[in-house]
A and B are shown apart, each in its own frame.
Chain A
């Protein structure tokens, strides 16, 4: 059997829960099992844990705790923000036009497609070759009927950090609500909702070393959107369902750690990411980096290996224990070439050979060395197997 080492380089897909986070979560299963809505002691204990977590999450993005609503996932936060805003605004006769970008996560894109079926008109803004949405393009797309703009903060495939402050400024000038999917930005770039001027912002715990199945939506004070999950009066009456206490407490702790650790995290992840990229560029010919080199998620590297196909790379790397992804995790079973790489103008044959690596807090230099060593072998092996190569060209 080949040399095997567990090397996880897919921190954008999800992260392990940190020990400190888990430690805070555990009591909420057996000991502190009270329902936060109950008025006796163990209920009130849960209530105060809920308040604390809300404050921890609020602090990470510069919001007030009253502006944070816990949800069941980042996807739910996106669905809620888009659907409720769209339906509310149309009901008020404000219009039926939504603007988003063509590189959004499917949580936003598929919600937009659903809204189109409900009679809304959606404009999907193009991006430039590094994946940036231009504030000028946004301004041109706004019409009298525009009721919502949703542009992601950091792209999950190529890591491009969008100019959210400028984009939100355009929205504000035109008095249109602005939402951003910050799931990949959280804990990876500094976020201050007040400074950014966004109206709504989606978050998810499992990308910042918190538990899966836990998200939150920031809704700026003064912005009112209808409920998405109807029922009890949880989350200030805005999101029904008995709270996932362990999940919320874990999210709170993860958010607190992400805040205190932000500078270290960014430095650590970007140093190792840069090392990974330079090693690959040094040791493997015919590769290129997709996305922006400058305004980029600290751990993300998206690299095209010419003349070979991504799934084969992924499977062979997996044989050595190295976990990487082809495009975005949710498209690995789909035959469609990545919509994000298409949008930045990468030809299909090269999209098929693109791999996303993400470094994280537990990544080490030794792991990168091991991954690169194996990558060199894998790429060589697959290129031997390939009918296309640099001499013959692509046909």
Chain B
């Protein structure tokens, strides 16, 4: 009946891993309030495993739910496994999003890559999943033209 399914609503109403870390190993910010969605994610890494993650998001229900789900998905995963997560896997894990809202989940996937990128740069590490990734790439694929 609602705009979102129960799982999305649960993550939206009770988002997991909200906040900021004391000494993050990597911070990623993606999107901007001007576009309607912005996410900041911070990660803690030990032996190439993401041991903790926290996020803050400005955005709609699906942006917040995707952020929450994405942080839940990466905690306990190796960096390589985390890099393999796409917005499609996040959506699948959420049990689907309305078509007009799919772009909001791209936010979480990009923000996580940005955080890992920062971690990799600081620690001189290379990951296959980061090849060709540009954290400053404009999010111009954002579909702002859908109407009514």
Chain A residues within CB distance 8 Å of chain B: 106, 307-309, 311-312, 315-316, 319, 330-331, 333-337, 347-349, 352, 384-388, 394-395
Of B3, B58, B64, B146, which contacts A335 at CB under 8 A? B146
Given A106-B148, A312-B64, A319-B13, verify A386-B34 contact (CB < 8 Å). Answer: no
Query: What's the tally of chain B residues with a CB closer than 8 Å to chain A?
Result: 33
B34 contacts A309, CB within 8 Å? Answer: no
Smallest distance from the beta carbon of A223 to chain B beta carbons, Å? 31
Q: Whole-angstrom distance between the alpha carbons of A368 and B11 in the complex?
A: 28
Smallest distance from the beta carbon of A165 to chain B beta carbons, Å? 32
A315 contacts B36, CB within 8 Å? Answer: no
Counting chain A CB atoms within 10 Å of each CB, which of B9, B37, B58, B148 scores highest? B58
Q: Which residue of B lies closest to A384 (CB)?
A: B18
B64 contacts A385, CB within 8 Å? Answer: yes
Smallest distance from the beta carbon of B19 to chain A beta carbons, Å? 8
Q: Whole-angstrom distance between the alpha carbons of A309 and B101 in the complex?
A: 14
Chain B neighbourhood of A387, CB < 8 A:
29, 38-40, 56-58
Chain B neighbourhood of A309, CB < 8 A:
33, 36-37, 58-60, 63
Smallest distance from the beta carbon of A377 to chain B beta carbons, Å? 12
Of B35, B56, B61, which contacts A311 at CB under 8 A? B61
B12 contacts chain A at the CB level, 8 A cutoff: yes
Smallest distance from the beta carbon of B89 to chain A beta carbons, Å? 23
Q: Which residue of A lies closest to B144 (CB)?
A: A335
Chain A neighbourhood of B40, CB < 8 A:
387
Smallest distance from the beta carbon of A42 to chain B beta carbons, Å? 41
Q: Which residue of A lies closest to B61 (CB)?
A: A315
Q: Which residue of A lies closest to B15 (CB)?
A: A385
Q: Whole-angstrom distance between the alpha carbons of A334 and B98 in the complex?
A: 12
B18 contacts A312, CB within 8 Å? Answer: no
Q: Whole-angstrom distance between the alpha carbons of A106 and B33 in the complex?
A: 25
Of A308, A333, A395, which contacts B148 at CB under 8 A? A333
A335 contacts B56, CB within 8 Å? Answer: no
Chain B neighbourhood of A315, CB < 8 A:
3-4, 9, 12, 61
Q: Whole-angstrom distance between the alpha carbons of A311 and B33 in the complex?
A: 13
Chain B neighbourhood of A337, CB < 8 A:
36
The 19 listed contacts between A and B (C-beta, < 8 Å) are: A307-B33, A309-B33, A309-B36, A309-B37, A309-B58, A309-B63, A315-B4, A331-B148, A334-B147, A334-B148, A336-B147, A337-B36, A348-B34, A349-B33, A352-B36, A385-B15, A385-B64, A386-B58, A388-B33
Q: Which residue of A lies closest to B18 (CB)?
A: A385
Q: Whole-angstrom distance between the alpha carbons of A106 and B34 in the complex?
A: 23
Chain A neighbourhood of B18, CB < 8 A:
384-385
B5 contacts chain A at the CB level, 8 A cutoff: no
Question: Could you mark each residue 73-116 of chain B with 1 if its beta carbon is under 8 Å from any beta carbon of chain A, else 0?
Answer: 00000000000000000000000000010010000000000000
Q: Which residue of B lies closest to A386 (CB)?
A: B58
B134 contacts chain A at the CB level, 8 A cutoff: no
A334 contacts B146, CB within 8 Å? Answer: yes
Chain B neighbourhood of A384, CB < 8 A:
18
Smallest distance from the beta carbon of B36 to chain A beta carbons, Å? 5
Chain B neighbourhood of A335, CB < 8 A:
36, 100, 103, 143-146
Chain A neighbourhood of B37, CB < 8 A:
309
Smallest distance from the beta carbon of B139 to chain A beta carbons, Å? 13
A349 contacts B60, CB within 8 Å? Answer: no
8 tightest Cβ-Cβ pairs between the two chains A and B: A349-B33, A387-B56, A387-B40, A311-B60, A348-B34, A386-B58, A352-B36, A349-B34
